[in-house]
Amino acid sequence: MGLPGNGTIPAVESRRRRLARTAGQRIIDLVAKNIRPRDIVTQDAVHNAFAVDMALGGSSNSVLHLTAIATEAGLRFPLSMINEVSRVTPQLCKLSPAGPQHIEDLDRAGGIQAVMKELGGRLKLNALTVTGSTVGENVAAARVKDAEVIRPTAKAYSPTGSLAILFRESGSGWGRGQERGSLS
């Protein structure tokens, strides 16, 4: 639900202030066009959010927050879907504390838009965004400026995402099995 650059522009840069002004204008434009948050927070958008998280190195907090957002939006996003997204999403970045790069490095390397461009067909490119354009339109001009920070898919840190949800099978310790108590 943020504009391109929102997640990586350092707070001390003037670009942050310009982005804040642009965000305010976008809100006015979206309201005028009757585009509401639930028009943007869709099944495809949640899928994309998890895919980007996997490419960045993943965070267990994302599971908590994104499933809560999906639930609030009335979407069905069972925990097993996280494993499905992870199976097809390469890990392209290793940000601190898991790696040597920091969020400023990711911004300099092209930001989230460049990560999304590198993920390409693994994303739902027709998903509407707060820009009023689709994900595909937003990332069309993006490019990776530093392949040490955002690796190409062919040289990913891992061919799969960085998170996996474990399920307990009835009567037998931890392992793969039927999902119980999903957040759907």
pLDDT digits (tens, 9 = 90+) for 33-51: 999 999 999 999 999 999 9
Residue 4 lies in a domain: no
Residue 169: which residues within 8 A CB-CB, separation 6 or more? Answer: 175, 176, 177, 178
What is the domain count for the chain?
A: 1
Q: What number is the average pLDDT over the span 113-126?
A: 96
Q: How many angstroms separate the CA atoms of 95 and 58, rounded?
A: 10
* Tens of pLDDT, residues 91-113: 999 999 889 999 999 999 999 99
**Would you place residue 182 in the very low, low, confident or very high pLDDT band (cuts 50, 70, 90)?**
very low
Whether 137 maps to a domain, the answer reads: yes
* Within a domain: 182: no
Give domain status of residue 63, yes or no.
yes
pLDDT band, residue 72 (cuts 50/70/90): very high
| Domain boundaries, position 37 | 14-175
In a domain, 99, yes or no: yes
The Cα–Cα gap between 36 and 169 comes to 40
Lowest-pLDDT choice from 55-59, 115-119, 125-129: 55-59
Residue 56 lies in a domain: yes
In a domain, 3, yes or no: no
Phi/psi at 158 (nearest 5 deg)?
-150, 145
Query: Which stretch of 90-94, 104-108, 147-151, 171-175 has the lowest confidence by average pLDDT?
Result: 171-175
Specify if 87 maps to a domain. Answer: yes
With CA atoms as reference, report the closest residue to 116 among 84, 85, 89: 89
